[in-house]
């Protein structure tokens, strides 16, 4: 089911929160998002699909009724963003070149995982080896349409965000770091990030073979 959390007359950004059935958006997430002084639409879809299938379904439903804003971002239900994060990321994209499709920032995990990941310069070769970019990165809507949308196949589940950034790369698009903002993700014991390393290796090999290897072949 699709829920509209916030609706603006002239939104600059569309936020989509994909939820598994039974999950809810945390108070910290809601409060921190609403501290951002920016025109936005915020929608949420609850279903038993993987997060990117939920995201894609929500986006298609939204587009049947509303014009898509210039920028779009996936917002998880268990994060706390800095007060200026959305406007800062939007400004990065507004000032970027056409070959930039999205912007990413620093983030950290707290809870069952304690880890900080700083934003670093975009590097295609590094991205082909490991994902250093969070799924909570703001995209240009036009560029997402140009590549045919997000990756939703369950064979990459857990690493669907990495597959998406490499899909952009195959279309000639890159990401741009934003060093001036960040967010915190609250990881529970059931978090996807807590799943076993063997599962990660299997999914990573699929992502590399299906998305990065074709990029390398095209750029030999």
Can you give the pTM of this predicted structure?
0.94
Closest residue by Cα to residue 69 from 14, 147, 125, 9: 14
Q: Looking at the 3D structure of the chain, how many domains does it have?
A: 1
CA distance 68 to 49: 23
Nearest 5°: the CA angle 214, 217, 220 is 150
In tens, the pLDDT along 140-166 reads: 999 999 999 999 999 999 999 999 999
From the CA atom positions of the chain, what is the Rg in Å?
A: 16
Residue 81 is part of which domain span? 2-218
**What CA dihedral angle connects 55, 59, 61 and 67, to 10 degrees?**
160
In tens, the pLDDT along 129-141 reads: 999 999 999 999 9
In tens, the pLDDT along 12-71 reads: 999 999 999 999 999 999 999 998 989 999 999 999 999 999 999 999 999 999 999 999
CATH number at residue 141: 3.90.550.10
């Amino acid at each position: 089911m699709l829920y509209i959390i916030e609706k603006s007359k002239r939104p600059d950004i569309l936020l989509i929160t994909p939820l598994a059935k039974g999950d809810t958006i945390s108070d910290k997430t809601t409060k921190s998002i609403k501290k951002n002084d920016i025109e936005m639409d915020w929608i949420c879809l609850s279903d038993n699909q993987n997060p990117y299938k939920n995201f894609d379904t929500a986006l298609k439903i939204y587009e049947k009724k509303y014009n898509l804003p210039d920028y779009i971002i996936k917002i998880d239900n268990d994060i706390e963003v800095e007060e200026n994060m959305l406007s800062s990321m939007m400004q990065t994209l507004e000032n970027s070149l056409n070959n930039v499709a999205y912007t990413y920032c620093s983030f950290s995990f707290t809870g069952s995982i304690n880890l900080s990941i700083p934003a670093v310069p975009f590097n295609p070769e590094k991205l082909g080896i490991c994902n250093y970019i969070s799924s909570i990165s703001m995209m240009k809507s036009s560029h997402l349409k140009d590549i045919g949308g997000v990756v939703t196949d369950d064979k990459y589940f857990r690493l669907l965000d990495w597959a998406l950034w490499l899909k952009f790369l195959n279309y000639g698009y890159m990401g741009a770091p934003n060093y001036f903002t960040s967010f915190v993700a609250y990881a529970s014991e059931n978090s996807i990030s807590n799943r076993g390393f063997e599962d990660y290796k299997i999914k990573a090999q699929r992502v590399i073979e299906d998305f990065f290897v074709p990029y390398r072949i095209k750029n030999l």
